[in-house]
Amino acid sequence: MTEGQPRLRAAASGLLAQRGIRVEENELVITTGSQQAIDLTARSILNEGDLVAVERPTYVAALQAFDLNSPRYVSIPVDQEGGQVQKLLEFASSGTLPKLVYLVPNFANPSGACLSLERRVWLARFAVQHGVFVLEDDPYGELRLHGSPLPSIYEIARSTPGAEKWCAYLTTLSKTMSPGLRIGALAGPEQFIDKITLLKQAADLHTSSFNQEVAARYLEGDRLQGRLDLIRREYRERQNCLIDEITSAFGSAMSLLTPEGGMFLWGRFRDGTDTRELLKHAIAAGVIYVPGDCFYVEQPDRSAIRLNFSAAPPEVIRLGVARLKYAHERYLSAFNGSGSSERRLELLGQRVLARVQRST
């Protein structure tokens, strides 16, 4: 069945119900990861030249999926309350109303920002008033480490007259159960889901039945809750560790957004460090991150950096930050081109690495 096996669709709608999202079976399709849901949504909605609004910064692989349909982009700046969605009004009045708004409202990749309740409500109303389709991508909502969950835009839209036709919600088991299983779920209005099902039939007929069975059995048991408790506890410790290490290593040279969940910290070098240039030194020092400039559709910020805290335990995070600090010193020294400071940094680097080796 292209739309997914009944057993998994039932389990997935149970999972969404725990998040306060009510979906009927005909409003849900199982996808091969949420990446496929983004791709199919883009194919179902976009024609060449259509406008898509994304956050600034936004999830880079969503752009890859959108790009295949040759759209144009507008971008919405992100602050501590998530995307400044009210900017969409400016686009509406300047004749550049997007056809599709894509956003990650909970602990976004890469910014970690969480869209405020007020902005969620505003966006649901805007969607119906202006006939703009909203794709809400929520892989990280269950990775809340602090504070209380907020209702999804999708659920808000369902209690906003007319808006339910204009919103779709997608999620994945990749960030909680297993990324390799490739199980995602897309919920939306019935007509939209029918179209997605046809497109999915052309793409891969259906998501692996074996993987669907594994996921259904996993969700039917009580394993997910136990796993969530474990990863939240671990990630909280790892996030605190990364914040502390970065703050003590870089002080005021780097500004950090400190999110209430997810997997990432989003930083900005205040000293104008170019993080793509820094990357060469970082790789040489044995640490890696994602340079911020790839997350933009326009005017990339070359001093931004995405740091991950979920993948490594605290002792490895400490090692990584020490290496990053060393790489930054090397970068500054190469940038300033000073021979004597080169020697000084060589010694500093040796000291840092010796400390790191002792601590592991």
Ligand X SMILES: Cc1ncc(COP(=O)(O)O)c(C=O)c1O
Binding site for ligand X (CB under 6 A): 33-35, 59, 104, 109, 137, 139, 172, 174, 179, 184
Q: Which amino acid is at 130?
A: H
Q: Whose Cβ is closer to ligand X: residue 139's or residue 320's?
A: 139
Q: Which helix (H) or strand (E) holds 354?
A: helix 339-359
Q: C-alpha dihedral over 79, 81, 45, 26, to 10 degrees?
A: 160
Determine the residue with CB nearest ligand X: 33
Nearest distance in Å: CB 104, ligand X: 5
179 or 272: whose CB is closer to ligand X? 179
Contact predicate 11/216, CB 8 Å: yes
Nearest to ligand X of 178, 341 (CB atom): 178
Smallest distance, ligand X to C-beta of residue 110, A: 8
Nearer to ligand X, 34 or 303 (CB): 34
Contact predicate 41/284, CB 8 Å:
no
Residue 354 CB, shortest distance to ligand X, in Å, is 36
DSSP type of residue 166: G
By beta-carbon proximity to ligand X, the closer residue of 46 and 104 is 104
Residue 137 CB, shortest distance to ligand X, in Å, is 5
Interatomic CA distance for residues 350 and 337, integer angstroms? 20
Q: How many residues does the chain have?
A: 360
List Cβ<8 Å contacts ≥24 apart for 118-123.
118/81, 119/81, 119/82, 119/83, 119/84, 119/85, 119/86, 120/150, 120/151, 120/152, 120/153, 120/156, 121/156, 121/160, 122/85, 122/86, 123/85, 123/88, 123/153
**Cβ closest to ligand X, residue 34 vs residue 197:** 34
Shortest distance (Å) from residue 109 CB to ligand X? 4
Cβ(276)–Cβ(293) under 8 Å?
yes
Torsion angles phi and psi, residue 300, rounded to 5: -60, 145
Least CB distance to ligand X at residue 35 (A): 3
Smaller CB distance to ligand X: residue 219 or 352?
A: 219
